[in-house]
Structure 1
Amino acid sequence: MVVLSRLLHVAAATVLSQDCFLCGAPAGRRPICDDCRAELPWHAESVCPVCALPTADGGVCGACLRRPPGFDATWVAFDYAFPVDVMVKALKYQHRFALAGLFADVLVVPDGVDLIVPMPLHPRRLAERGFNQAVEIARPLARRAGVELMLEAVSRVRHTPSQAQLGRDERERNLRGAFVGARRLDGARVLVVDDVMTTGASLAAVAAVLKANGAARVENLVVARTPTPL
């Protein structure tokens, strides 16, 4: 039923005019109108190239210099603030699949990427939700960039408690052994796609698995970043 619902939502968004998800004004075939899109909380331009937290000069931040994460670079479209936080939750919990297309439209796949890997969900979470929002965002990105979308590169094999209230160290302990790799990726430059980045612990854990399987470089492409430092 979830798959059918997704197809119906996508078809409707493609064919029919719709009202803006945020203000209710006519938005044509897009999920939000131009006025609301212009008011979205776009992420700062001067950021650490590794973790995407704002820096004064766009250089690598002190946290990444002191304790480099497993990934090599991060690109972010928005701050995780109103109304982007509402849009992300609407995609995940209300099946507003047209918003996945909007998120994909504002993200840009860097040149030279060999593979796109969506952040995996544990099978239990996938069964509860019926879909993986990272896959829904990554699919049009991969198609537009002409880059292979690899769903089986990493699996989440341990169901972990909610990490919403955990700090970086607690998240890292929570994620130990949560991901496993299934494919050799010798020499590949891999782009991991996710919806929200908080401390970066999940992305770092996935990057460690990808590199253990031979990836030469792992980068993140994320819809929204919280202001929580790494």
Structure 2
Amino acid sequence: MLRWLALLILVALPAWAEEVVLGLSQNEVAITTSFNGSEILIFGAVKREAPMPEGELGVIVTIAGPPEPVTVRRKERRFGIWVNTEAVEIDGAPSYYAVASSAPLDEVLGIRENLEHRVSVTSKLNAVGAPDTVLDASAYVAALIRINTAAETFQLLEDQVVVDEDTLFRTRIRLPAALTEGAYGTRIFLTRDGEVVANYETTIDVRKVGLERWLFTLSRENPFWYGLMSLAIAIAAGWTASAAFSVLRN
């Protein structure tokens, strides 16, 4: 009985099943005092248990930073000056989000699949949303996307995933200098004619190390001593600059 059940399960599985075998140039990013960004090489292969199926193969890679609340403010011109008026806080927006694809995103991923897996930055943020009391929430979401795109913390990298022989793939994604500490969720999607046929998830850990970690921990756990140390450094730096200026003037 069990043998027949196993056979039925195998028959029910799609013959075109494919899997992702992934590699990362690094799965940890260390933030130091001289950190100015990092480039991650993501590479892998498509594992198949059957002949390659028909349909155009697409590969999509996403990296999402830790979620955090973001306040988006609307500015209006009043009495000749620009002032902040309404403000909306969007909970759970990714601090960083990048999407790389082997072709234009709308060619390798269908609309329904995009909404289901929340791949594009728009679908990602629309899923987070704004409070129900805001009537034009989409305008605030669009503003957040525009601001973060300009700052390169939101990236759309179309045609940046190289696929060789419909089997091997690779891409490079640059992480900016202003990174939030935490786990960066990394997803890889394989698509055929716009439908997701396989996906894989892993994480990249971003952590402060060395002096940066010590200062960060001190400021959180011992703010009094951190303040005294900052004050002492400022006084010493001012005195040194003043002494150097006096020597040069004489």
Give TM-score, length-normalised by structure 2. Answer: 0.26
The structure with the greater share of residues assigned to strand is: 2
- Structure 1 or 2, whichever has the larger Rg, is 2
Question: Which one scores higher on RCO, CA 8 angstroms, separation ≥ 6?
Answer: 2
